[in-house]
Amino acid sequence: GVNFSFSPTKKQNYKFNVAHGWGHDRQSALNSYAYDLASTWRLNDIWGLQYEIANNTERFAHILKATYNQPKFVASAEFRDIDKNYNTVRGSASRQGEQGGLFDLSYSPTEKLGINSSVNVYRDTINPALDNDTRLNEDVRWNANYQADPVTYYSLSYNLSNQLGRVSQVRYQSSGIGVTRKFRLLRDINTYANYYHQENKSFSSPLSDYINDKFTAGLRFGIIGDLYYYFNKDLNWFEERFNGNHTMPHAYETGVEWYGSLGKASPFYGNFRFSYRDEEKTVSNLGFFAGEDYIENYAELAYRPNSDMEIFGSCRFRNIWAENPNASKRMEANFNTGMRYVWDTGVKWESIGTIDGYVFNDDNQDGLKESNELGISGVKLWLGKEKSIDTDASGYYRLTKVKAKKAYVSIDTKTIPLGYMLLSGLTQEIKMSHGQTTRIDFGLSNRSEISGIVFEDTNANGVLDSDDKGIRGLSVILEDGTKAKTDSSGKYSFRVEVGAHTVTLDLESLPAEYLPSVSIYKDFQVTEGMSFKHNIPLKKIQK
């Protein structure tokens, strides 16, 4: 695509984007072209206004946002209308089919205390409630972070997801408290502990009702040089409300990780990780864990002869074996490679500017910080190799008087909270503009996934057995319209954000000789780092 940016004054900016998509693997329903016009106005030092309109040659999406900024207080109000049939050139649009508003508030009464809250009220036009298609949904988030001292952080949180305006009507609540602290015992040891109380009420499927008390804890420390060891524990006290069953699913993950240069002054850099995960007592009607134990090896090698060129490649191998009957034993391998090159035109000037941004919890994993996505405190960022800064209680950082044509900001992986992974590159390049502030954000995420196998249930017991076979080419759909095709083993998977989700088996993709043995709908309430396993048994019609 092509991007045009025009700033007639320091307080106005207009951007126009044209994107074109093609390829054999693209969905046939996607449009080939998409257009986007975004405008930003700084009315004064306090008020700002943004408007964005997008079109895919058939449908429109509109977003209007007003912001109010004070040194300790930031508020915003966003109004959106995303057509239910609007797609980008790559797939489903973020918040597709939603009409509503998002109201965000951040308050930092002191440098050590940050309070964030958001209220999201909207109508779902893709899958509205059957009894009232105009009923609204509400999502409420509140979070407070307090830095007690340079090595200790405390947090409080409350989340409410009231999804009564959707086909699958669910109310989910979660409250939590947490602490992260660095200890010195021969070496620095980073630790964390969190407790959450979670309640889920499904008005469409009472079988999905539960109460859960969740405790997570972990530690990370350096062994030698840039080699680190980590250990994470997840323990749950789980009650299924419908039948009163009590279980205690738990899991732990441990491993070692190394990142650094392969030798002094070497242009080669590596990132290597070995991890082991063990899950216990995962047999539950709700599939609280994925029910999989695994050993994983990850390796990444990069060649950087200078700051303008990088060639990199990575591979991941995972050996998975089943912890419960609903999981499948298998081996997975992923490979990635690429190159980055910057050409210098030779035109030079001296620029002094500012770099700021957030390290944040990227709920929808799109790389963009939205108003309802919370910042992460205590993460160190480096400007080059000499200057560093830690994010404040709201996840915000600011680097001033940056004198360079190009600057490089890197995230220190040693300070990333346990259980999180970085979604972007470790280092981001910034082209400085004199007197201007450039924003660079780093998104982090826990792995949240819904996956399963669609299979022929040969003995009609509703459980995936060793002699049952997966069925290829079937479609499974999320509530936002995202589709996944089953592979040769019948497996499908979705990376999902925190909140309520509904998985539906697409009956139109089902061969004529098969019928589903269970409901084609399944509700989930996903929290950070949670993986659900949902297998779908089919019965073959006897002729």
Beta pairing, strands 246-247 & 250-261: unpaired
Domain covering 345-445: architecture: Sandwich (2.60)
The token pair that represents 360 in the structure block: 């944040």
Question: What confidence score (pLDDT) does residue 208 get?
Answer: 82
Give the residue carrying structure tokens 């925190």: 498
* 185-206 confidence digits (pLDDT tens): 888 898 999 999 999 998 888 8
What pLDDT is recorded for position 308?
74
C-alpha distance from residue 89 to each of 18, 33, 56, 429 (Å): 10, 6, 8, 26
pTM score over 0.95: no
Low-confidence stretches of the chain (pLDDT beneath 50): none
Q: In a 3-state reduction of DSSP, which class is residue 509?
A: helix
What pLDDT, on the 0 to 100 scale, is given for residue 543? 60
Amino acid 37: pLDDT: 95
| CATH annotation of 449-540 | 2.60.40.10
* Residue from 27, 30, 7 nearest 19 by CA: 30
Under 8 Å between Cβ of 237 and 281: no
Question: Order of strands, edge to edge, in the sheet holding 406-411?
Answer: 387-390, 380-383, 406-411, 427-431
Which residues are within 8 A (CB) of 536 and not within 5 positions of it... i.e. 6 or more apart? 452, 453, 454, 455, 476, 505, 516, 518, 520
pLDDT, tens digit (0-9, with 9 covering 90-100), for 495-529: 777 677 888 998 888 888 888 888 888 877 776 65
Domain boundaries, the chain: 1-93, 220-343, 345-445, 449-540
Query: For position 528, what pLDDT does the model report?
Result: 60
What is the pLDDT at residue 354?
87
Rounded distance, CA 140 to CA 158, Å? 8
Eight-state DSSP code of residue 417:
P
